[in-house]
Structure 1
Amino acid sequence: MKIRDVWVEIFSQKVDLADFGRGRDLVVIRIITDEGIDGISYVPGFSHIPTSLSNALKEIVGGVVRDNIVGMDPTSIEAIWDKLFHRLTRWGRRGIVMHAISGIDMALWDIIGKISGLPLWKLLGGYKEDVPAYANVAHHLPPKELAKKALEYYEKGFRAFKIRGARTEVSFEEATERIKAIRDTLGYDVKLMVDMNGSLDTHQGIEYLRRWERYDLYWIEEPLHPDNLEGYKRIKRYSNTMIAAGEQHSTVHDFRILVEEELVDIVQPDASWCGGISEWLKIWSLATAYGVPVAPHALHPIHAHLVAAKPNTMWVEYFYPDNPLYSLVYEVFEEPRESLYAERGFLRAPKSPGLGLKLKRSN
């Protein structure tokens, strides 16, 4: 079997997300083989700020990446990953180049699953079929309305919630009001996390955490810029709240520092950012060896496979179709329904071979 071609398509959606711009893109990648088995993946979350980088990703994947892998055996995943990483290292070991490698790698794993006739979670370990999830409540709403949205998700079975408190979106005072409103509405028997999107400096991070201790947050996510490693060391020293990070880190080399230096309590690798499923598995192995839990960021239809496959995985981050951050995935894909749509706070491990992704007929 050989790779015959690589197809890339951009899907767009108009939204109004304050600091995330007025549009979001999702990039679908399809690897076409000479034996009629295609691999499909996607890379989400390209915001229009004011324009999107999705066209750059399409250019890279459909150009230099395609030219380097056409003719190769799609089951030679390590060889393809290594070739792309070293050929493209000079132009980016993170960011847009790593998105391209990640998208290709995920599509290759889809092919492997289809060849074997197994869903990816079975192929990688088959640890559990029920996949726990927490609800992302990152809607840009006033505090009381945000609490109503969290209550709506609570009534659908969720018992853990994440909101945004980033300084690029809201003030400290409004972020605090969001936290207080949800605690007043749902009480303290649910887990509540706050995502800062790397928007604080070290001093602010320490101050925020101290002032929010009364609200018993389960974790604070990405309080600092991903490169502020010394800051993470200091904030960890002063915090009684768990620190989670990793969505903007790439490859096991970034995560080795987070884990070995004890900068975080929970790692959040995103297979569409960190280097694909291949690199995600290496990060999982590293974290597991050090006893650090893994809670992947976003990408719930794909991450459901990985959480289902392995122990030491906490849950997936779930976005309801009414959440504008990642609602586009529901417009692009119709399968796998088991890992697209949550029931009572859980996803189910998909039954279809590979990743099980299927584009809607209109696409």
Structure 2
Amino acid sequence: MKIESVRVISREKVEQPVYRYVKPTDYYKSILGEVSPTEAAMINEVCTLEMRAGDYAAYYNTTSDVADFAVDLSKKLNGLDVSEINMAWDMLYRLSLPLGRAGVMMHALSAINILMYDLYSRYLGVPAYRIMGGPTRKKIRAYASHLHPTAIPELQEEARKYVSEGYKTMKMRFISGPSDINGIDKNIELVRSIRDAVGYDVELAGDAWMSWNYSFALKMVKKLEKYDMAWVEEPFMPDDFESMKMLALKTDIPISEGEHHYHIYDFKRLLDAGIRILQPDAVWTGGITPMKKIAALAETYGAIIVPHTGNVYNLHCIISEPESVTPVAEFLTKYREWMEQDMEGIPFPVKGYIELSENPGFGIEYKKSN
């Protein structure tokens, strides 16, 4: 079955909620305000991509810049068999090297790779995780991800709600970094309030979103150790592997990285820096093909994969790997991601667990695909 076309079939303006959290741009609030790099660069228009082969079609939502790159790259795929997924990925990766290796070009490769997985598994009549190796369990444990800084009573009530819904792990967002002279105390106040609300029978992680430097991070983790953190996420900018390595040696709190890293080479550097919780995202890091390689690489280091966001593509990767390697999925509780606009069939947690359907492909359909 040959790939016939990849095209944009719809463009839709979207407006996503903006929540408070620490950002690497906080040094420039007087110029930029509260806007984050993601909000500034990406989330304003959602495009639906369609890939067709024979009587089959697959659909994928992404941003306009990613969609345009994906359409341009995909012209090299016309006439290629939809099963030749790895060859297509490698060819396009090599072709895009002068412009790629990270950022929007890898997002475009992710789109093409995911569409090919979706289309081929639809053709075979099986869920995508079946062609990734099959399921390793009946359902996936999920953790509740939000807890953006608000008034303390509201934050505590949100945390208690997650416990009542069956979650055993939750993740908060820190509010401050080095640009705030009282940042450490403000962060600790948030952590303490959540622990006061839910106790210590629940795992609590915290996200610093690339916003700390080594000195601030070291002081932070020393004060956080008494609160039994499950992990501290993305304390440094993505290329600061040396700070990651030094911090990992200085604290018993696991340090996680990977949301803003790409393909296997970045993840080898993370593992060599002592990171043992990797957080790639199939829609950013290059697609399913590199996700499977990253999982294998992680296993050789005794590391685990906790993908960034619980999008359905990550969920299929998680369930196709041993639970010892991919133990848990992130679930963003307060909003559905921009890439899930106009989708039907998205799985949601029930009592802290997610079950995937036996529907072909990734089990989702697009309301506007016709």
Q: Is the shorter-chain TM-score for this pair beyond 0.5, marking a shared fold?
A: yes
Q: Secondary structure at the match of 1:350?
A: coil
Provide the residue aligned with 2:330 in structure 1: 317
Of stretches 3-12 and 299-308 in structure 1, the one that deviates more from structure 2 is: 3-12
1:69-101 Cα offsets, whole Å, 9 max, x none, are 222222111121112111111012100000000
| Alignment deviations for residues 122-157 of structure 1 (CA, whole Å, 9 cap, x no partner) | 332221121111010143522321221121122111
Q: Structure 1 residue 347 and structure 2 residue 366: aligned?
A: no
- Tell whether the 8 Å contact from 2:140 to 2:319 is kept in structure 1 after alignment: yes
Match of 1:195 in 2: 207
- State how 1:1-363 maps to structure 2 within 5 Å: 1-8=1-8, 9-11=10-12, 12-17=14-19, 18-20=34-36, 21=39, 26-33=46-53, 35-43=54-62, 54-62=63-71, 64-124=72-132, 125-165=134-174, 167=176, 171-259=183-271, 261-311=272-322, 312-320=325-333, 323-324=334-335, 326-328=336-338, 331-336=341-346, 339=347, 341-361=348-368
Whole-Å Cα distance in 1 between the matches of residues 195 and 121 of structure 2? 43
In structure 1, stretches of 5+ residues that fail to align are 44-53
**Once superposed, which parts of structure 1, at least 4 consecutive aligned residues long, lie more than 6 Å away?**
none
Shifted more, 269-278 versus 326-335: the winner is 326-335
Where does residue 28 of structure 2 map in the other structure?
Answer: none
Give the Cα separation in 2 of the matches to 1:61 and 1:176: 43
Q: Distance in 2 between matches of 1:145 and 1:362?
A: 39
Q: Please, what TM-score do these two structures have when normalized by structure 2?
A: 0.87
Once residues 159 and 210 of structure 2 are traced to their aligned partners in structure 1, the CA distance between those partners, rounded to angstroms, is 23
How many angstroms does 1:296 deviate by?
A: 0.8
TM score, norm. by length of structure 1: 0.88
Instruction: Write the letter of the residue equivalent to 1:225.
Output: M
Q: Which moved more, 1:134-143 or 1:194-203?
A: 134-143
For the Cα contact (< 8 Å) 2:61–2:339, is it kept in 1?
Answer: no
1:345 Cα deviation (Å)? 0.4
**Contact 1:229/1:263 (<8 A) preserved:** no
Whether the 8 Å contact between 2:148 and 2:174 is mirrored in structure 1 is: no
Alpha-carbon offset, residue 166 of structure 1: 5.2
The one-character-per-residue Cα deviations of 1:265-284 (angstroms, maximum 9, x if unpaired) are 21111111111000100000
Contact 1:121 1:306 (C-alpha < 8 Å) held by counterparts: yes
Structure 2 unpaired stretches of 5+: 20-33
Instruction: Specify whether residues 215 and 25 from structure 1 end up closer, same or farther in structure 2 by C-alpha distance, changes over 3 A only.
Output: farther
Q: Is the 8 A contact 1:147 1:178 kept in 2?
A: no
Deviation at residue 195 of structure 1 after TM alignment: 0.5
- Residue pair 1:331, 1:360 contacting (<8 A) in 2 also: no
Q: Paired residues, what number?
A: 344
Cα 1:156/1:25, change in 2 over 3 Å: farther
2:343 partner amino acid? F
* More deviation, 68-77/138-147: 138-147
Amino acid at match of 1:293: I
**Conserved 8 A contact 1:15-1:24:** no
Aligned partner of 2:24 in structure 1 is none
Going from structure 1 to structure 2, the CA distance change for 1:252 and 1:27 (only over 3 Å counts) comes to: farther
Q: How far apart are residue 30 of structure 1 and its match?
A: 2.2
Structure 1 stretch displaced more, 184-193 or 161-170: 161-170
Sequence identity percentage:
27
Letter in 2 for 1:222: E
